[in-house]
Amino acid sequence: MLSDLAPQPADALLALIKLHRDDPRADKIDLGVGVYRTGQGDTPVFSAIKAAEARLVETQDSKAYLGPEGDMGFVRGLMPYIFGADDPTRGGRIDGMQAPGGTGAVRLAVALAKKAGVGRVWMGTPSWPNHAQIYADLDIEMKPFAHATKNGRADMDALRVAVGLAERGDAMLLHGCCHNPTGIDYAPAEWDEIAALVADKGLLPLLDLAYQGLGEGMEADAFGVRRVLDAVPEAIVAYSCDKNFGLYRDRVGAAYVMVDDAALLPAVMSNGYALARANWSMPPDHGAAAVRIVLEDADLTAQWLDELGTMRARMAKVRARLAEAGRIGAIDMAALGSQHGLFSMLPLSGEQIAALRADYGIYMAGSGRINIAGLTTGNIDAFIAALRAVAG
Ligand code: LMR
């Protein structure tokens, strides 16, 4: 039976990691998978996390199982940042559980939605390719609509049409901030409208918040999620700490559920625990425990927020420099200046992307997505020059 299985292509995005690693050119540029890099091109462990890990090693006296919900100190410690410090549980209507990274959280969110009867998920495209892979794997139908217009704005008309076509009981996946791959986020007034539309239509929002703090700040980046939660009775939030705590390979995430009636929350969460048990049983502990230690300690929290601020400021600088490049052929580089997060998309053809890789050692996703943080003062001019040569 196993020998009948057709070979599957490697995940295109993850394959870039290896392609770039194997390229011997010293001046190669990695704009592929979404990891933050410093101005020196490194992805160091946050010093707040290093300190928390040292404390964890020192004080942890057991590695016995915690249960499918994971480290609830971690899960609850994040809630004021996501849902607001005033009433993070919204009157006891929100609870969460740990998940293996953002992917685990999205998978849990979609599986829980399916278990609750959702058959279709509406989603602006392009999106993170793994969203569609997760829907396919869970056998849930995806209904795509355009996320962005040609001139680089959120395509609200397409979203309005999608909501018009959707049926009560469908879900809609929304990126909370730092849209992956376009960098094009909704403005506050657009979130107001989306929240009202989704609530009126009775759609279940699946909010994917994987980059909180990498856009405009921890509070500003939660605006959309909070606005939607204000408007609807129920929602699921998939959260990732992979980027904003730099814990990528440790797989640190959480899934949160908001219900209409607090009394029903334990029953809903019990379905989440059952799904976790059948998928991964329990999430990996180490990274989440380190985040909990950071969040429990005011000094470490301040240090973490400071490090996050440094990352944000560096990406803003890179975006400003890219925006100065103006127009390069069909590419309006100025638009990159107002986009958010690690990613932006360049309207490049497959041939142009291949030429950038073959002739200049520049690695980017096949969609034309670039990781802004892969650019440094040392390589940004070479990148712009290569773009001019290939696409200008
Ligand atoms: C990305 O989009 O590059 C990241 O979210 C990494 C991943 O898991 O795909």
pLDDT at 381: 97
> What's the pLDDT tens digit per position in 143-176?
999 999 988 899 999 999 999 999 999 999 999 9
pLDDT at 277: 97
Asked whether 295 and 301 are in contact (CB, 8 A), the reply is yes
In this predicted structure, the answer to whether residue 232 has a pLDDT above a threshold of 90 is: yes
Question: Which of 11, 13, 14, 208 has the most ligand 1 atoms within 8 A of CB, as the residue to mutate?
Answer: 13
Distances in Å between the alpha carbon of 271 and those of 79, 209, 233, 308, 384?
A: 20, 22, 18, 34, 50
CATH superfamily of 10-45+300-391: Aspartate Aminotransferase, domain 1 (3.90.1150.10)
> What's the pLDDT tens digit per position in 174-207?
999 999 999 999 999 999 999 999 999 999 999 9
- Among 185, 221, 243, 285, the active-site one is 243
What is the b/e burial string over 282-308, where b = at least 16 CB atoms within 10 angstroms of the residue's CB? Answer: bbbbbbbbbbbbbbebeebeebbbebb
pLDDT at 125: 98
Query: Roughly what angle, to the nearest 10 degrees, separates helices 101-115 and 129-137?
Result: 40
Ligand 1: which atom is nearest the Cα of residue 365?
3
- Among 208, 221, 242, 250, the active-site one is 208
What is the band of 12 on the pLDDT scale with cuts at 50, 70, 90? Answer: confident
pLDDT at 152: 86
pLDDT at 150: 86
> What's the pLDDT tens digit per position in 296-313?
999 999 999 999 999 999
55 CA to centre of ligand 1 in angstroms: 29
What is the band of 287 on the pLDDT scale with cuts at 50, 70, 90? Answer: very high
CATH number of the domain located at residue range(s) 65-296 in this protein: 3.40.640.10
Radius of gyration of the chain (CA): 21
Asked whether 159 and 208 are in contact (CB, 8 A), the reply is no
Q: What are the extents of the domains in the chain? A: 10-45+300-391, 65-296
In this predicted structure, the answer to whether residue 324 has a pLDDT above a threshold of 90 is: yes
CA dist., res. 294 & res. 55, Å (int): 10
pLDDT at 9: 86
Closest residue by CA, ligand 1 atom 2 = 34
CA dist., res. 322 & res. 328, Å (int): 11
Question: Which of 11, 33, 212 has the most ligand 1 atoms within 8 A of CB, as the residue to mutate?
Answer: 33
281 CA to centre of ligand 1 in angstroms: 23
Closest by CA to 50, choosing from 251, 291, 231, is 291
367 CA to centre of ligand 1 in angstroms: 13
- Mean pLDDT score, 226-245: 98
CA dist., res. 28 & res. 138, Å (int): 38
pLDDT at 97: 98
pLDDT at 132: 98
Looking at every residue in the chain, the average pLDDT score rounds to 97
Q: Is 80 exposed, middle or buried (0-12, 13-18, 19+ CB in 10 A)?
A: middle
Asked whether 97 and 78 are in contact (CB, 8 A), the reply is no
CA dist., res. 30 & res. 118, Å (int): 38
What is the band of 13 on the pLDDT scale with cuts at 50, 70, 90? Answer: confident
Q: Is 113 exposed, middle or buried (0-12, 13-18, 19+ CB in 10 A)?
A: buried
pLDDT at 262: 98
pLDDT at 151: 82
State yes or no: is 208 an active-site residue.
Answer: yes
Eight-state DSSP code of residue 379: T
Eight-state DSSP code of residue 2: G
First to last CA, the chain: 52
What is the band of 11 on the pLDDT scale with cuts at 50, 70, 90? Answer: confident
Closest residue by CA, ligand 1 atom 5 = 34
Where helices occur in the chain by DSSP H, the ranges are: 12-22, 47-59, 72-83, 101-115, 129-137, 156-165, 188-201, 223-231, 265-279, 286-296, 298-324, 350-360, 380-391
Residues with CB under 6 A from ligand 1: 13, 33-34, 128, 130, 180
Percent of the chain topping pLDDT 90: 97
Eight-state DSSP code of residue 44: P
Asked whether 356 and 386 are in contact (CB, 8 A), the reply is yes
The angle at the Cα of 37, spanning 36 to 38, to the nearest 5 degrees, equals 130
Percent of the chain topping pLDDT 70: 100
Asked whether 344 and 370 are in contact (CB, 8 A), the reply is yes
177 CA to centre of ligand 1 in angstroms: 15
- Among 122, 128, 191, 304, the active-site one is 128
> What's the pLDDT tens digit per position in 123-139?
999 999 999 999 999 99
State yes or no: is 27 an active-site residue.
Answer: no
Written as six digits, the tokens of 235 are: 């929602």
Question: Which of 128, 243, 252 has the most ligand 1 atoms within 8 A of CB, as the residue to mutate?
Answer: 128
State yes or no: is 114 an active-site residue.
Answer: no
What is the band of 10 on the pLDDT scale with cuts at 50, 70, 90? Answer: confident
